[in-house]
Amino acid sequence: MSRKFVIMFVCTGNTCRSAMAEGALKKLLESRTSGNYEVISSGTGAAICFPPTMYAIEAAKIWDVDISKHESQPLTEELIKKSDLILCMTSSHLGEVTRMNEEGKSKAFLFKNYPDNNPEGEPLDDPIGQPLDRYNETFLEIGEYLGKYIDEIVKGIDEK
């Protein structure tokens, strides 16, 4: 069996944006491909094994996605090497990926720029500390962008 195509989302704490994006992409891929893939997430400043925020869990329910069992993990060089596609929520997250491992430069993208590899662009704002409505908006924004990218992501999985 061939190695899995690994998609990783990167944010800061790995308890909001990247955890919601991981759950949303898993949900979208369920019906799009039976390919050999894995969706993971990490954070540039993440602690180990923290749960998602309560509001991130609630926002993900918009798509019947359960992220309550998610556990945060720090971004590592090993995760970068393992990943085939890395989607970063801000330019600083993208910079950290490429600083940690030069290999990351060819497979890491600013989330809202994918598949364009321009490292500058609009970030996906962090909802941490804000009300549930802001988390819902963030989750729907994640879904909107993933909807635009899904064909490209499936193509990458299927070509693996």
Q: Model confidence over 8-60: pLDDT tens digits?
A: 999 999 999 999 999 999 999 998 887 799 999 999 999 999 999 999 999 99
32 is annotated as an active-site residue: no
| Other CB atoms within 10 A of residue 128 CB | 17
Kindly report the CATH number assigned to the domain that includes residue 134. Answer: 3.40.50.2300
Q: Which amino acid is at 103?
A: E
pLDDT value at residue 131: 98
Mean local confidence (pLDDT), 104-123: 94
Q: Which domain holds residue 60?
A: 5-159
Mean local confidence (pLDDT), 131-154: 97
17 is annotated as an active-site residue: yes
Residue 145 token pair? 């962008």
Percentage of the chain exceeding pLDDT 90: 89
Residue 158 token pair? 């299927």
pLDDT 10s digits, 122-135: 999 999 999 999 99
pLDDT 10s digits, 69-98: 999 999 999 999 999 999 999 999 999 999
| Three-class DSSP category at 39 | strand
**What Å distances lie between residue 133 and 55, 77, 102, 138, CA to CA?**
9, 35, 38, 9
DSSP 40: E
**Could you check whether the bond before residue 131 is cis, i.e. omega within 30 degrees of 0?**
no
pLDDT value at residue 2: 66
Distance CA 74, CA 23 (A): 17
- Give how many domains the chain has, as a whole number: 1
Which of the residues 16, 49, 66, 125 is marked catalytic? 125
Q: Which amino acid is at 145?
A: Y
Among candidate residues 117, 121, 149, the one with its CA nearest the CA of residue 25: 149
Percentage of the chain exceeding pLDDT 70: 99
pLDDT value at residue 31: 85
Single pTM value for the model: 0.96
CB 98 within 8 A of CB 51: no
CB 145 within 8 A of CB 115: no
